[in-house]
Structure 1
Amino acid sequence: MVLDPHRWLELRRFRGLYEAGAMSLREIAKETGLNRRTVTKYLSGEAPVAPPRRTAERRQHRAVDEVAPLIDAMLKSEILLRASVIHERLASEYQVTINYQRVKIYLQEARPRIAEELGISPGELAGLHRRFEVVPGAQAQVDWGDEGRILAHVGIPKVYSFHMTLSYSRDPFCCFTTSQDLTSFFDCHRAAFAHFGGVPMTIVYDRTKTVVRRHVAPGEAVPLHPEAVAFAGHYDFDIDVLAAYRPTGKGRVERQVLIVRDHVLAGRAFSSIEEMDAAFTAWVPLRRAKVHGTHGEIIGHRAVRDHMALRPLPNTPYVVAQRHLRHVGKDCLVAFDANLYSVPARKVRPRQLVEIRATKSQVALHSTVPGADGETLLAAHPRAVGRGARIVDERHWDGLPTGAGRRTTTGDAVLQPRRDQLPGPEAGSLQALLNRAAAASVEVGRRPLSVYDELTGTRPFTTNSPTKESS
């Protein structure tokens, strides 16, 4: 018989009386209501001194226990899955309403347990990520590289490298540019598609401003740039934006940035962007002849299967344009990118809003409302280089006053009309005005009043009044 701890403590009070001979075992058994054998066992020294351990009580039921198998299954598929993602999926996919903090507390116990089942040590858990493989033509990854002042000696302050890598074969593409703006970004895409001979089904990006309209909190839908959506629709590929704080999502292209920098640029001098592009083109056959360390095949052989699975290029390219709204000035000029561009005076009014569609080489100005012929184009100009330029088509100013009949003067000379050219009654009054203006411009000498007192022999500032006697 295992004695209850409370009964054991009660029986312990009689140990001193029993050892002193004041009470017998029979009397103690009668007093406590226990069996004499039990009393003998616990008071004669046969039982342990410490009270017996209390049997484990049934664990209190928790709400998270009902969804614990679902959470464990999610962790087995992705051990680093965040608590916020698990909580969101429980609510959206399984209609489970549970406190977020309870999920976090459960993950503190469940993640190490699942990691141990998967053979992952706790020390390695934080630095691991799941490797993925794709089929030919399924995916490409895009990234920028900053090559710094490599062409500063020829007046180009900054050079960037654009990289696209096919995920299945690791076949690379790279080109160099002086800008990371919207038009340059997608011009590089068109060059990459021509290099590969087709378009992948999906392209992976980080949260760059040329793809993402604005940054949002983790877990929220990412708003895409309208031009990026239009470009992807024209070339028939899907945009895959990486989740926040997941830098390993496009490691294949990030590794390619370092490889190109080491094998193409390091230790060489260039004098133009074209020379840098030519150096990469010459290096590509060397790269394709290598055996890749991950998939273990020759990159060029694997790239053949990758290229054959790409989608075909469309018949016409999509020209990406920056779109902005600007006001028309009273001089029929529109400001964009620190330059001025003219619009036809007969088609606009002051302060009218017009839409600017700027490509890398052209600036087109469109009306926001179609005209009678259904057209919106007002003017098209070559894009200015630098800042402070005025790109004007003289025909746009047809109908405006030319100012040809207005007389202008330079310097301080005053232009006076000839008397014989003025009408009779008006000649006198106009000449009087001219004489008054000329008199006002004559400088007058200034001297102190004491000079005049000395000339007249009078004492200055005489203030004594005459007396009666003198009068």
Structure 2
Amino acid sequence: MTTNPTSEARRYQNLRAHLGYLKLNDAAEHLNTVLDVARSDGLSLTAALERLLEIEVEATEARRLASRLRFACLPGPWTIADFDFAAQPGVDENLVRDLATLRFLDDAANVLFVGPPGVGKTMLATALARGTAEAGARVYFTTAADLAAKCHKAALEGRWNTCMRFFAGPRLLVIDELGYLPLPGDGASALFQVINQRYLKSSTILTTNVGIADWAGAFGDATVAAAMLDRLLHRATVVGIDGPSYRLRAHQRTSDTLRAAAGHRPAPAAGQGGSHAS
């Protein structure tokens, strides 16, 4: 039986029009390529349709992920694979990899990264946040100081409830750098309200350089600090990190590379000699 070329052309144009009407734009764009592959490789009608719809699904998922990442406001593109566990022996690798499965989200559990500046707390928190976004959930990243400032402004403008709903919404909220900067007068109270809104409903990751035993002094209100810790620690994994600073190590590597490029040896450590100006 001979196929009518005019009929086939009309059918092809109708198919493109149908895909466009249904807003399956990526499928419409790749229709010609899929049909060519189906013809050359002898694909069945089912296989060709599967490939065409697979293209549309992949494009839709990519757009949704991009939207979730824009909303998340992550400070970097880091993933768990980017973290150098060998160079940071203060991190429990097995514990972090277990957290990377995101099982803690199913229990609305929290994660606290505690340690001095530069040891990788923010990087690990961001990696877990990115993994959550890639798994299809909403994430939001903020510093403790920015959260307090947003809450304070919302209270002055009569938008307190709206602000609380915003911070309660994401399945994972990351609060970075708690304790690095002093919070405003009502900052500790605002932080408690956010944590209380999320308690037993969704997960929070918090990074801090303040040991848990020192929270009362750091926030200036023992009652609020105790109430906050009570909710955070009820279902929580505490990851203590005590090791060398990532940033200082990276700075040293850069300095050594520049010295080597300039034909100089690395500067000797203190007490190891070397020439001195008279």
Quickly name the TM-score band, shorter chain normalised. under 0.3
When normalised by structure 1's length, the TM-score is 0.18
Instruction: Mark the structure with the bigger radius of gyration.
Output: 1
Compare relative contact order (CA 8 Å, sep 6+) and give the higher one, 1 or 2.
2
